[in-house]
Structure 1
């Protein structure tokens, strides 16, 4: 949206109202009302004639609308007049075909920014802004504002029915702008405003229509593979009664595989084409989901090529291509072993997580525990062997040291146990005789 504008006006309500009334050429009708201080009736006449401002010369357009906006916001009940003013701005600005969108967008933005942030009137202005941007295919200008939406609803104490109305408008604006993900996101938010305990509202024509639209968007989205949040909505569950075939198809995409999808097509021949659902897109997505299920249900984390080809109903030479696609879709992580002819699973995404998946997880945990126990036993044995080896080495060292001490001991004594070695023989002299 445009940069917020501030209004700088000078004069009393009566003076300003008479000025714009004269500009709109209804001054004679408004003057008596202003003289009687009947401001609301005077303002009503001005607002009723305000569509003529769309023909105002471009250089005067913003000033004229700013004056009108100022007068409306002085009213005790602006909500009474704003729909007309906003409605005028959604019509062509005949005086400036080239810049009409920008002029009208600026005026709508000015209205929104001048209304007190906590005033519920802001909701109605935002709804008109959304419709205006949708009409001109400018959803990208709306997106930055949407991050504040839930906080605004809280400030405005917006009823759930009104929230749903705006969410639907945003969803349709996003869809028309080609943003399927944002369209689906806000459609789910719209369905989230439905009272879970109000069966009449859940099964109403409006809510069932929105639920069906959400299912179609989810099925045809090339990037959406998780349907649990959608299927958990009461209004979507109610499709089992109002649109049972759609409900059956959603169940298949939620937790079944390609073979079930093919059986569905055989059972409801021509139905997919009749409903303008793209079989090629659906089949491709179903193959990717089947691959994910196969990876999640393989206990040893190795899937033979033959199993992949059979489950996906593809020739062996296409396995590598589908592996790349399923990894790119972030459903599975792993790598192909061409030598062993298997796909080695590193990580996989569970499509649903119920009793069956808990059992599979339990089996896998038991397997991991068994492997861990074996590894722990090997580690403990290695530790024991190392300790025993260290003790043997220590004992051997001590023995060698003891032997060395015994061999190098001194001390002599007389007798048999003494040292019998004699010193060197002295030479004989004459004195010895």
Structure 2
């Protein structure tokens, strides 16, 4: 989001109030529009005291409060006849509030949040009614409101949170792709406490998670964890990482200093399955863990994650590790079944699952019951120990021999090419050599 510069309208206070109130009245039922006009008449009397003096600051503030209440009652006054009218009037109202209240006061913040919340309510109502045009108006109003405030304003996160909530309800989160790269600079600018920033990140992550965008939810949860280590946040981040279908590590969480220490109990054991336990040995332990902690995983409340998914990922990691360690690049169905603790008849399904997850490339030979490994992704392997070094050394030697053979073949081909086209006629050099040989033979005979 880019900042915007609000152009303060050169209108007297009474005209500003009349513009905003008349706009709000057009979003009211006909009966209530009469009440709005009567309210404006009341404001006129307040603005023109009998003694001819200027209205007091408190009088103006009281009028602004009532106008804000009108916007709240009309759910952001989104029902105006013209789309552009709603946006321009919203900016005018923002100016009126800022012009009559101390922008650092709690009341100013309360009024701004009330208007933003009213727009969100109106936008969600429009989304439920299938009126995308009104939803877009609400989104633009909240975007304009965000840009109305200085970059360091503590009201920016409040308005942005309201906007994210609306986008989530309208199934339109793609319109605001919050990424760490764009969000971190904004977080550093906001003059709010770390606790408030963490609360914002947690709320935003919840909106993305509810919408099924688990990757974005994980990014925001990790940002919250980086700002405040919390066992519950770390546990939820772990669950989000494992819920992502094609993710097989928890590195993002463990990179956060202190996050690993915050995990205990079943969460601690779960991390060990993906970090400490040998990949092949982890299958049996994961099966036992999943059986014991099915209720725990369910309680984490992350869509797509259950005990069976945990076991599935451990098995796929084991399959990938077995493929990476294979010196011949061929694995029998029986060996895979034994490693994964599954029936041999199910091996092909597991290999296909690994291929779809991008963990490896392989070919299945059903007649021979063999899996021929073409390549293995590092996403499914985590350990590089003595066995892996030995395998790498062996494959490098094979590669070196293959390269040497290729070079020899190329050199041989180059020699043949240098001799020119092959014909039945002798070359000049060959004829000279033949002549010299004949002369030597004649001299010997003489």
TM-score normalised to structure 1 length: 0.72
Matches within 5 A, 1:78-227: 80=109, 81-92=111-122, 98=129, 101-116=135-150, 121-134=155-168, 136-140=169-173, 142-144=175-177, 148-154=182-188, 156=190, 160-194=194-228, 202=229, 207-227=230-250
Distance verdict in 2 for CA 1:300–1:70, change over 3 Å = same
In structure 2, C-alpha distance between the alignment counterparts of 1:32 and 1:245, rounded to whole Å: 71
Matches within 5 A, 1:6-85: 9-13=9-13, 15-17=15-17, 25=40, 27=43, 31=47, 38-39=56-57, 42-43=60-61, 45-47=63-65, 49-53=67-71, 54-55=73-74, 58-59=79-80, 62=86, 64-74=89-99, 77=103, 80=109, 81-85=111-115
Give the aligned partner of residue 27 of structure 2: none
1:6 Cα deviation from its structure 2 partner: 8.0
The SS at the match of 2:249 is coil
In structure 2, C-alpha distance between the alignment counterparts of 1:41 and 1:364, rounded to whole Å: 83
Give the aligned partner of residue 367 of structure 1: 394
Give the aligned partner of residue 307 of structure 2: 279
User: Does residue 310 of structure 1 match 2:310?
Assistant: no
In structure 2, C-alpha distance between the alignment counterparts of 1:321 and 1:95, rounded to whole Å: 46
1:351 Cα deviation from its structure 2 partner: 5.4
Q: How many residues align?
A: 392
Any gaps of 5 or more consecutive residues in structure 1?
A: 195-201, 410-416, 418-433
1:258 Cα deviation from its structure 2 partner: 6.8
1:8 Cα deviation from its structure 2 partner: 8.4
Give the aligned partner of residue 336 of structure 1: 364
Conservation of the 8 A alpha-carbon contact between 1:333 and 1:347: yes
Give the aligned partner of residue 261 of structure 2: 238
Conservation of the 8 A alpha-carbon contact between 1:291 and 1:308: yes
The SS at the match of 2:245 is coil
Conservation of the 8 A alpha-carbon contact between 2:364 and 2:372: yes
Give the aligned partner of residue 198 of structure 1: none
Distance verdict in 2 for CA 1:383–1:69, change over 3 Å = closer
Higher mean alpha-carbon deviation, 292-301 vs 254-263, is at 254-263
Conservation of the 8 A alpha-carbon contact between 2:294 and 2:306: yes
1:326 Cα deviation from its structure 2 partner: 0.4
In structure 2, C-alpha distance between the alignment counterparts of 1:77 and 1:170, rounded to whole Å: 26
Higher mean alpha-carbon deviation, 247-256 vs 286-295, is at 247-256
User: Does residue 298 of structure 1 match 2:330?
Assistant: no
In structure 2, C-alpha distance between the alignment counterparts of 1:143 and 1:130, rounded to whole Å: 8
Distance verdict in 2 for CA 1:386–1:273, change over 3 Å = closer
TM-score normalised to structure 2 length: 0.70
